[in-house]
C-alpha cells in the first residue's frame, strides 16, 4: 500500500520498497506512485541501471509497456551526483545495483527525499537478491507483490528461469522467465515440470520411524 503522505512545513524523507517476482507489477506500481507525485507538483527524478536495456535505454518500462523517462546510471553513487533538488526519487531494478545503493537511499531519505525503490527480492534460484534484503530492512514501507503462477494459477513468488545458464544476472522477459508459486518453482531449468510431492513426503512419519530417530 502506498504511504499516506502528511504535508508539513518540515521536509521529511523515507524509503519505500516495492518487491516481488518478475511479472508481479513492480515497475507498474513504481510508475504509478511517481506519476501521482508529479500530479502533486513534486519534483521527481527516476534512475535505472544502465545495463538494463530490455525495453529502452533511457526509460523505465513495465512489462505492460507503461513508461517514464529515466536516467541510466552505472553505479548507485552516481545517483547522488544527478539527483539535484528532487523531492521524490524512483529507482527501478534495484537488484542490478551494487551494495552502495543502501547507503545512497539512506542518505537521500535523511536529506528529506522520498525514495521509492523497485526490484526482485529473489534471484532465479530463490535466494535473496542483494541489495534488496538490506533495503527492505531499513525501509519505512515495504510492498510485496505477486504474479500468477503459469503452471497452477496460484500466487507466484518466484521467477522461473526457462533457459539453461548459471549466471545470476541474465536479462530477459517472457522468453527467459515465467512466474511460479513455491510448489511449482524449480531452480534447475533442466528439471521436468513440477509435480505434487510423493505421498511419502506429505504423510506424517510412522511411529517406527520416530522411534529410530536420535534424541
CATH number at residue 114: 3.40.50.300
Tens of each residue's pLDDT in the chain, 215 residues: 566 665 556 778 999 999 999 999 999 999 999 999 999 999 999 999 988 765 555 545 544 546 678 899 999 999 999 999 999 999 999 999 999 999 999 999 999 999 999 999 999 999 999 999 999 999 999 999 999 999 999 999 999 998 876 788 777 667 789 999 999 999 865 544 444 444 444 344 444 433 444 33
Range(s) of the domain holding residue 53: 14-146
**φ, ψ dihedrals at 6, nearest 5°:** -100, 120
What kind and span of H or E run contains 194? none
pTM for the predicted model, two decimal places: 0.78
Q: Tell me what pLDDT residue 149 has.
A: 98
**Integer Rg of the chain from CA:** 20
Report yes or no on 166 lying in a domain. no
In this predicted structure, what is the pLDDT of residue 1?
57
Residue 175, domain member (yes or no): no
Look at residue 83 and tell me if it is in a domain. yes
Per-residue model confidence (pLDDT) at position 72: 92
Give the pLDDT confidence score for residue 204 in this predicted structure.
Answer: 44
38 domain-assigned:
yes
Give how many domains the chain has, as a whole number. Answer: 1
- Given 85, 93, 100, 201, which residue is catalytic? 93
Q: Is residue 184 domain-resident?
A: no
Residue 55 covered by a domain: yes
155 to 23, 80, 158: CA distances (angstroms): 11, 37, 10
Does 93 qualify as catalytic in the annotation? yes
Confidence at residue 52, expressed as pLDDT on a 0 to 100 scale: 76
Find, among 7, 108, 89, the residue nearest to 48 by Cα: 89
**Inside any domain, residue 37:** yes
Residue 171 located in a structural domain:
no
User: What is the predicted pLDDT for the residue at 131?
Assistant: 96
Amino acid at each position: 500500500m502506498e504511504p499516506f503522505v502528511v504535508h508539513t512545513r518540515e521536509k521529511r524523507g523515507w524509503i519505500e520498497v516495492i518487491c516481488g517476482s518478475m511479472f508481479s507489477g513492480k515497475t507498474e506500481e513504481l510508475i504509478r506512485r511517481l506519476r501521482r507525485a508529479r500530479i502533486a507538483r513534486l519534483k521527481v527524478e527516476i534512475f535505472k541501471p544502465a545495463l538494463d536495456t530490455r525495453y529502452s535505454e533511457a526509460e523505465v518500462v513495465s512489462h505492460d509497456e507503461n513508461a517514464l523517462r529515466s536516467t541510466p546510471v552505472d553505479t548507485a553513487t552516481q545517483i547522488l551526483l544527478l539527483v539535484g533538488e528532487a523531492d521524490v526519487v524512483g529507482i527501478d531494478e534495484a537488484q542490478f545495483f551494487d551494495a552502495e545503493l543502501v547507503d545512497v537511499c539512506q542518505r537521500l531519505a535523511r536529506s528529506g527525499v522520498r525514495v521509492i525503490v523497485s526490484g526482485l527480492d529473489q534471484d532465479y534460484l530463490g535466494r535473496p537478491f542483494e541489495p534488496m534484503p538490506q533495503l527492505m530492512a531499513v525501509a519505512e514501507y515495504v510492498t510485496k507483490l505477486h504474479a500468477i503462477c503459469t503452471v497452477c494459477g496460484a500466487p507466484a513468488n518466484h521467477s522461473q528461469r526457462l533457459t539453461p545458464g548459471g549466471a545470476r544476472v541474465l536479462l530477459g522477459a517472457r522468453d527467459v522467465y515465467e512466474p511460479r508459486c513455491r510448489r511449482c518453482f524449480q531452480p534447475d531449468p533442466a528439471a521436468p515440470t513440477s509435480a505434487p510431492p510423493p505421498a511419502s513426503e506429505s504423510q506424517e512419519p510412522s511411529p517406527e520411524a520416530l522411534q529410530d530417530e536420535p534424541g
